[in-house]
Amino acid sequence: MKILSISTRGNELKFYLFEMDDQSIIANGIISRIGLEDSSYSISFGSENITEHVEFRDYNDVANILFDKLVTLNIINSSIDINGIGFRVVHGGSKYVDSVFVNDKVIQDIGDLSDFAPSYNDSISLAMRSFRKIFPDIPMVAVFDTAFNQTISEENYLYPLPLDWYEKYGIRKYGFYGTSHKYVTKKVSEILGRNDFKLISCHLGNGGSVSAIENMKVIDTSMGFTPLSGIMMGTRSGDIDPSIIPYIMKKEGLNVGEVIDELNNNSGIYGLSQYSGDMLEILEECNKGNENAIRAKNKFVRSVADYIGKYYVLLGGVDVIAFTAGIGENSVQIRREICEKLACLGVKLDLDINNHIGEMIKISTDDSKIQVYVIPTKEELMVAMDTEKLIKNR
Amino acid sequence: MKYLCVNAGSSSLKFQLVEMPEEKVIISGYIEKIGAEDSFWNTKINGKKIRGEKPLKNHSEAVDVMLEELIDKGAVESLCEIKGIGHRVLHGGEYYKDSIVVDGKVIKNIESLTKLGPLHIPGNLTGIKAMMKALPDVKNVAVFDTAFHQTMPKMNYIYPVPLEWYKKYGVRKYGFHGTSHKYITELMQEKLGKEDVNLIICHVGSGASISAVRDGKCLDTTMGLTPLDGLMMGTRSGAIDPSIIKYISEEANLSVQEIDEILNKNSGLRGICGFNDNRDVEKAIAEGDENAKLALDMYIDRIVKYIAEYYVELEGNVDAVVMTAGVLENGKETREAIINKLKCLGFKLDKKANDAIAGFKDQKSGIITTADSSVPVYVEPTNEEIMIVRDTYKLCK
């Protein structure tokens, strides 16, 4: 079975074509500047990499041209070869607790949630509409980043705010990166050979979220109403005193949207280091003795360890801690520093094994009270897996 | 020797006259609704409570009432007996790591912090100035709510926001309730017989904050730039996703100032269930109010999460968790729920010991965990006024 997995951000669309029999990638690529000048696409398949400037006026062009290319490059024979398309949707609100087949109503709902996830939900709903119009016979599935978090209890998803803000405006914790946490949870259950475990899943990339999971269900997660809250991130502040917003508005003469932009784009590791939001670059600066970089790195480590501590107690103890995404998969040093802070919970890292990068591996010692794993995340594959599952069960 | 403690809030003034070094309270009083038509006050002396009332236009008039009360009720024969006055001041910014004798420069520095505490600082300053005028020969000491937290390392007090916000505008974690956290720290140093105590102090009243103390010094605390940050409180939200402010301002058409006010006054327990006093919340729960139950669960959940966070920050080296201030001095059910949620860290409740302690009972303090609990949990009433008088006594000697 061949499944196409699609995600969007702003004017950009990423695609992966999977052979689900062995979960291998047949082709993948990116279409950039959709609807803008200088739009282009690039695609990798086998050992080939192609980049070309092509005019993509809108998502109808994207759907048409993408399938044309797949055929002309002999990746598929015709559109019939594609058994399903999975779309990664950032926000499903309270309504979508699991992946669903795409229909007009679903597309409408996703578009309506654009305010909650600007530059994501609007673009993916446009993409869905076009692919559905042009290939009406291919089954399509929406996989929501918020869906996995929908098992969180009222007590944990509500904010201590006027209750009518939840009732009228949907102010609550939604959580994000659910697709990644779901994939990690699935892998852990395969490793342990059971479903009744307690897991803290740490997705640490440029954005980051930590989730507390019990019996395959999310109990709590660090991101909230939007992806701004929770742990400190590459350019996002995470949790801060909300009073900082009116204070800075007054001092800097900014409006609330501008302050929130600052908190999203110029804060976090970048804001504190005044150098970069990229952990690799920060670690290099740390080695040179850059104090701001060291502080930013230490604070990041602290903020992840803090959440692990909170969730350890929330879960009443933990079987597995898993690291994933850019920093979680690749930064030996950050993993080590986080785990050092967790020694009081009985975490012991095998420093040699921790040096491995890029593979699924257990990095804790045998006598560690909590098993620690690195599990490279594959959100695109998770989207394709859910799509396959729905089609097979139809 | 007699020392006066003054706590001037935005529309109230609390005072206490204390005989030192015995720490014996001679008289105490609480003047309310300053600036309103129906101002009134209650004075307590020799176990008797006496009420008085007349319109008070401002804090200056309230100070006059306080001084009249001291003489009228026989607490002093003459005001000359007062050897020093300690003032509770909300904010010392980065200027003050400890209490200080007030002079012109101190007043100027406090004035410059008004932007960080617009509701409290003006009242604090009026109290100080009125006392300087009334008793020009007596020293006034400023005791700052933030001072105890000034030992926090920069990594802990800085927010992950653009660094120039700190440099230009002082955006950082200051922490509050410092006088209470300091009182408890000194008390525990005495009880444990060592200076370098590691503590998690939970000050939970209508406002609430938790501090991590390492080697007798504040390592971290939950309140931040303002007292809105950290825990869910009676009427305050504590930390929330900052994006909510923008979203609500657009959807509900409210100004950011109005939202800030709602986060401070109509959120927390009140936001979820309508009651902001824990006693009312518990009563409502007993009557089957589901929102009240939800509110209290959320409230306890956040206390537990911060204790867990600070347990990890202290690397598990915690000599004691101390519970203090109104809610925890009285709420045995709340204390029990918190400790039971910490079982996985080895905490073990001693139910009998816990049930024995409440503010309205004879027993007000003690250890409420079993001997084999990984960390002992203490209940200890806080006493900010005595802490203020102690600092004043020390600096006036």
Block means of pLDDT (10 residues each) for chain A, 394 residues, are 96 97 96 95 95 95 96 94 96 93 97 88 96 96 96 96 95 95 97 98 96 98 95 96 95 95 96 96 97 97 98 98 97 97 97 92 97 97 97 92
CB nearest B248 (choices: A169, A269, A312): A169
- Please count the CA atoms within 13 angstroms of the CA of B37 that sit on its side-chain side: 0
Size of interface A-B (CB pairs under 8 A): 227
- Burial of A286: CB neighbours in 10 Å, binned 0-12, 13-18, 19+: buried
Q: Do B294 and A154 touch (CB under 8 A)?
A: yes
When the candidates are 3.40.50.2300, 3.55.50.30, 3.20.10.10, 3.30.420.40, the CATH number that belongs to A193-379 is 3.30.420.40
pLDDT tier at B115, thresholds 50, 70, 90: confident
Sole residue written with tokens 């007996």:
B81
Q: Does A345 touch chain B (CB under 8 A)?
A: yes
**Residue B38 designated active-site:** no
Residue B31 in contact with residue B13, Cβ under 8 Å?
Answer: yes
pLDDT value at position B117? 82
pLDDT value at position B36? 87
Q: A299: which chain B residues are within 8 Å (Cβ-Cβ)?
A: 155, 158, 160
Angle of CA points A96, A98, A101, to nearest 5°: 85
Residue A39 in contact with residue A121, Cβ under 8 Å?
Answer: no
Report the gap between the CA of B221 and the closest CA in chain A (Å). 12
CB nearest A229 (choices: B242, B256, B308): B242
Q: Report DSSP state, residue A349.
A: B
Report the gap between the CA of B78 and the closest CA in chain A (Å). 45
Distance from C-alpha of A391 to C-alpha of A101, rounded to nearest angstrom: 9
Q: B269: which chain A residues are within 8 Å (Cβ-Cβ)?
A: 160
Strands annotated E in A90-159: 100-101, 140-144
Cα first-last separation, chain B:
10
Stretch 35-54 of chain A: residues touching chain B, C-beta under 8 Å: none
Sole residue written with tokens 């050092």:
A340
Q: B276: which chain A residues are within 8 Å (Cβ-Cβ)?
A: none
Q: Does A316 touch chain B (CB under 8 A)?
A: yes
Report the gap between the CA of B193 and the closest CA in chain A (Å). 25
Q: Do A242 and B291 touch (CB under 8 A)?
A: no
pLDDT value at position B54? 94
Average pLDDT rounded to a whole number, residues B347-364: 92
Q: Do domains A2-144 and A193-379 have the same CATH topology?
A: yes
Select from A115, A116, A161, A286 the residue whose CB has the most chain B CBs within 10 Å, as the one to mutate to test that interface.
Answer: A161
Q: Do B226 and A243 touch (CB under 8 A)?
A: yes
Q: Do B237 and A159 touch (CB under 8 A)?
A: yes
Nearest CA to A317 out of B77, B308, B234 is that of B308
Residue B359 in this model has a pLDDT that exceeds 80: no
**Diameter over CA atoms, chain B:** 61
What CATH homologous superfamily does A2-144 map to?
Answer: ATPase, nucleotide binding domain (3.30.420.40)
Q: Report DSSP state, residue A347.
A: -
Query: Given B137, B145, B319, B372, which residue is catalytic?
Result: B145
Report the gap between the CA of A9 and the closest CA in chain B (Å). 19
Q: Do B239 and A240 touch (CB under 8 A)?
A: yes
Q: B251: which chain A residues are within 8 Å (Cβ-Cβ)?
A: 168-169
User: Residue A48 belongs to what H/E stretch?
Assistant: strand A48-53
Q: Are strands B40-45 and B48-53 parallel, antiparallel or unpaired?
A: antiparallel
Residue B303 in this model has a pLDDT that exceeds 80: yes
Nearest CA to A301 out of A266, A324, A347, A335 is that of A335
Report the gap between the CA of A189 and the closest CA in chain B (Å). 23
Angle of CA points B105, B109, B110, to nearest 5°: 115
Q: Do A251 and B169 touch (CB under 8 A)?
A: yes
Q: Do B241 and A228 touch (CB under 8 A)?
A: yes
Q: Do B159 and A241 touch (CB under 8 A)?
A: yes
pLDDT tier at B120, thresholds 50, 70, 90: confident
Report the gap between the CA of B160 and the closest CA in chain A (Å). 5
Distance from C-alpha of B67 to C-alpha of B389, rounded to nearest angstrom: 17
Q: A161: which chain B residues are within 8 Å (Cβ-Cβ)?
A: 237, 240, 244, 262-263, 267, 271
pLDDT value at position A119? 85
pLDDT tier at B384, thresholds 50, 70, 90: very high
CB nearest B237 (choices: A161, A268, A274): A161
Q: Do B160 and A247 touch (CB under 8 A)?
A: no
Q: Does A377 touch chain B (CB under 8 A)?
A: no
Residue B51: other Cβ atoms inside 10 A: 8
Cα first-last separation, chain A:
15
- Please count the CA atoms within 13 angstroms of the CA of B225 that sit on its side-chain side: 25
Residue intervals in chain B for CATH 3.30.420.40 = 2-144, 194-384
Distance from C-alpha of A159 to C-alpha of A165, rounded to nearest angstrom: 9
pLDDT tier at B181, thresholds 50, 70, 90: very high
- Please count the CA atoms within 13 angstroms of the CA of B186 that sit on its side-chain side: 14
B186 phi/psi in degrees, rounded to 5: -65, -40
Distance from C-alpha of A275 to C-alpha of A103, rounded to nearest angstrom: 45
pLDDT value at position B362? 85
- Is domain B2-144 given the CATH code 3.40.50.1370 in the classification? no
CB nearest B241 (choices: A229, A232, A269): A229
Query: In chain A, which residue's Cα lies nearest the Cα of B298?
Result: A155
CB nearest B344 (choices: A163, A165, A316): A316
Q: Do B256 and A249 touch (CB under 8 A)?
A: yes
CATH number for the segment(s) B194-384:
3.30.420.40
CB nearest B271 (choices: A161, A226, A274): A161
Q: B254: which chain A residues are within 8 Å (Cβ-Cβ)?
A: none
Distance from C-alpha of B252 to C-alpha of A255, rounded to nearest angstrom: 16
Report the gap between the CA of B245 and the closest CA in chain A (Å). 8
Sole residue written with tokens 């520095």:
B109
pLDDT value at position B116? 86
Select from B159, B231, B255, B267 the residue whose CB has the most chain A CBs within 10 Å, as the one to mutate to test that interface.
Answer: B159
Please enumerate in sequence order all residues whose Cβ is within 8 A of that of B185, keeping only pairs 6 or more positions apart, or say none.
Answer: B148, B197, B199, B201, B213, B216
Q: Report DSSP state, residue A173.
A: -
- Domain range annotation of chain A: 2-144, 193-379
pLDDT value at position B70? 94
CB nearest B243 (choices: A155, A228, A232): A228
Residue B52: other Cβ atoms inside 10 A: 15
Cβ contacts of B26-34, under 8 Å, gap ≥ 24: B26/B2, B26/B75, B27/B69, B27/B70, B27/B73, B27/B75, B28/B385, B29/B66, B29/B69, B31/B56, B31/B62, B31/B65, B31/B66, B34/B58, B34/B59, B34/B61, B34/B62
Q: Do B260 and A237 touch (CB under 8 A)?
A: no
Q: Do A224 and B240 touch (CB under 8 A)?
A: yes
Distance from C-alpha of A143 to C-alpha of A128, rounded to nearest angstrom: 12
Angle of CA points A120, A123, A125, to nearest 5°: 105
Query: Given A145, A241, A261, A306, which residue is catalytic?
Result: A145
pLDDT value at position A68? 95
* pLDDT tens digits along B318-353: 999 999 999 999 999 999 999 999 999 999 999 999
Query: In chain A, which residue's Cα lies nearest the Cα of B173?
Result: A241
Q: Do A163 and B291 touch (CB under 8 A)?
A: yes
Residue type, B277: D
